[in-house]
Amino acid sequence: MSGKAPLDYQLNTSFGNKRPTLSKVLIDPILVFSLLTLLVFGLFVLFSASGQLTSMVFRQSIYIVIGLLLMFIISRLDQSVYKSFLMHFFWIGLILLIWVLLFPAEGYKTDRWINLGFISFQPSEVLRLLLPLAAASYLTRNQRRPSVKDWCIVLSAILVSSFLIYKQPDLGTSLIVLASGCIPVFLAGFPLLTLFILIALILISSPFLWANLTPYMQQRVITLFNPESDLLGAGWNISQSKTAIGSGGFMGKGYLDGTQSQLDFIPESHSDFIFSVIGEEFGFLGIILLFLVYGIILYRVFKIAFNSSTEFSRLTVSSIGFVFLIYILINVSMTVGTLPVVGVPLPLISQGGTSVLIHLVAFGFVLSMKRRQTW
């Protein structure tokens, strides 16, 4: 098999010979239209959640357009083009992370940002995509099963990255990065026995980890279990968010008619708590429709993953799918009060340029790895 490209590599290069059809341009029209639906819906919700700030919606639209362009460009690429140097991109991400810790950008509360003047972005967001890609790429760089050394190298990279993000401090993204790194490791066949031993070790050491959390993070966890204890302080977010979603009922209060959202009772309603706005204004029905769209996207992603031809692409695409799912789950869970408020945005809807950009780039990779069925 050495020296000879797999079959679908060749099939991919056949693009452009025949007249372009919708499925050829978009590669996976259902996935792309679902994404577009979500993005447009997201902009409408953002308009409502931001207190009807057109400037915020406009800014977000620019990121979406850039993101869609990047997605389109990346989806044209063949995985052989980027597979080999994805590993090296990881190093760039790591350097940027260290950069923000050493040279924090002015005017931000936490050291998460790099300000390039025309644009500012969070390297942690970049890394949480690069990490699974690099891990998948490294673990499948040859046809052999990964060795103990391989596992150790990948796990170290994951731990260092998430530790650096935890130091920013950004507990939410740090956990997301940890998960997005571990998922390809698990899917690539990490030995189960070792995994159980590691999990046991983590459980045993968890009291020590708790002691090492900053009071701000401890407070967030504590208020999860008793939000009513401090209604004007830390519990305010959760209780107002639950009130918003609950008062939305089945049908919702109607677009722009959510009193909790429009009267500013929901804090961070444009970013971390945008799901509360959806719940309040569109109700349970709206939430279910939103989940349906998310479901279609995930279904298409996993379909692509399981049908794709290389181990690298299967690993990468399913990892991206799982990270996307975890994002949704953590965000929704924290707004309804079943998880601590950890500051994870709702993918493709929450305000935040870097976040939406990276998600779209990830879908670009997903699309590029779809097995082209031209025969």
Partner 1 sequence: MSEFLNLDRESKAQKQLQKRSVFLFLLVSVFGIVTLFQLVKLTILDSTLYTTLSDENRIIRVPIYPSRGVIKLSNDEIVTENIVSQALTMLPAKTQDMEKTLRELRADLLIDDKQLLALKERIINKPSSYERVVIVENLSPEQIAKFSVEKDKWPNLSIEARLMRFNLLGPLFSHVLGYVGQINLEEIEDSKDFVYPLSFLTGKTGVEKFYEEDMRGGVGYKTIEVDVNGKEIRELNRVVPNKGRDVYLTLDKELQKLARKELTGRKGAVVALNPNTGFIKALVSSPDFNPNILNKTESGDLETIFNDLDSPLFNRAISGNYPPASTIKPFIGLLGLKEGEIDWNTTIEDKGFFQLNEGGRRYRGWKEDGHGKVNLSKSIIVSSDVFFYQLAVQLTVDRIAAFLKQFGFGLKTGVDLYAEAEGILPDRKWKLGAIGESWFVGDTLNMGIGQGFISCTPLQLAVAISSIATRGKIYKPKVVAKIGEEYIEKELIFEISSIKQTDWAKLESSMVSVISDWRGTAYNLAEIAENKIAGKTGTAQIKSLTDEELTVREEYEDVRQEESDRDHALFVGYGPIPEPELTVVVIVENGESGSAIAAPIAQKLIDNYLSRNN
In whole angstroms, how close is the CB of 260 to partner 1 at the nearest point?
6
Tell me the C-alpha distance between 38 and 44, whole Å. 10
- Taking the least distance from each CB to partner 1, the nearer of 66 and 336 is 336
Residues with Cβ within 8 Å of 371's Cβ and at least 6 positions away in sequence, in order, are 8, 11, 304, 307, 308, 309
**CB of residue 83 to partner 1, shortest distance in Å:** 16
Residues in the chain: 375
Q: How far apart are CA 342 and CA 330, in angstroms?
A: 8
The phi and psi torsions of 120 (rounded to 5 degrees) equal -125, 140
From 247, 243, 240, 258, select the one nearest 49 (Cα to Cα): 258
**Which residues in 252-281 contact partner 1 (CB under 8 A)?**
259-260, 263-265, 279-280
Does 80 interact with partner 1 (rule: CB under 8 A)? no
Residues whose CB falls within 8 Å of the CB of residue 54, separated by 6 or more in sequence, listed in order: 47
Query: Counting contacts by CB under 8 A, is residue 120 touching partner 1?
Result: no
Which of the ranges 117-125, 148-156, 214-222, 322-330 carries the binding residues for partner 1, by CB under 8 A?
322-330
> By CB under 8 A, is residue 322 in contact with partner 1?
yes
CB of 278 to partner 1, least distance (A): 11
Residues 10-69 that bind partner 1 (CB under 8 A): none
Contacts 24+ apart (CB under 8 A), 261-269: 261/48, 261/49, 262/48, 262/51, 264/51, 265/240, 266/49, 266/240, 266/241, 267/236, 267/237, 267/240, 268/237, 269/49, 269/50
Which parts of 323-352 interact with partner 1 (CB under 8 A)? 325-326, 329, 332-333, 336-339
302 binds partner 1 (CB under 8 A): yes
Q: Helix 79-102 vs helix 148-166: angle between axes, to the nearest 10 degrees?
A: 40
Q: Which residues inside 125-144 make contact with partner 1, applying CB under 8 A?
A: 143
The reply to whether 246 sits near partner 1 by the rule CB under 8 A is yes
Each residue 187-226 as x (binds partner 1 by CB under 8 A) or -, in order, gives: xxx-------------------------------------
Phi, psi of 188, deg, nearest 5: -75, 0
Q: Which of 50, 60, 240, 354 binds partner 1 (CB under 8 A)?
A: 240
Q: How many CB atoms lie within 10 A of CB 4?
A: 8
Q: How far is the CB of 118 from partner 1 (least distance, A)?
A: 29
Q: Provide the minimum distance between the beta carbon of 2 and partner 1 in the complex, in angstroms, as a whole number.
A: 9
- Residues 344 and 249 sit within 8 Å (Cβ to Cβ): no
Residue (13 or 259) nearer to partner 1, CB: 259
Nearer to partner 1, 45 or 97 (CB): 45
**CA 70/CA 24 separation, integer angstroms:** 17
**Which residues, numbered 162-191, are part of the site for partner 1 (CB under 8 A)?**
183, 186-189
Please give the residue ranges that form the binding site for partner 1 (CB under 8 A): 1, 143, 145, 183, 186-189, 232, 240, 242-250, 259-260, 263-265, 279-280, 283-284, 287, 302, 305-306, 311, 314-315, 318, 322, 325-326, 329, 332-333, 336-339
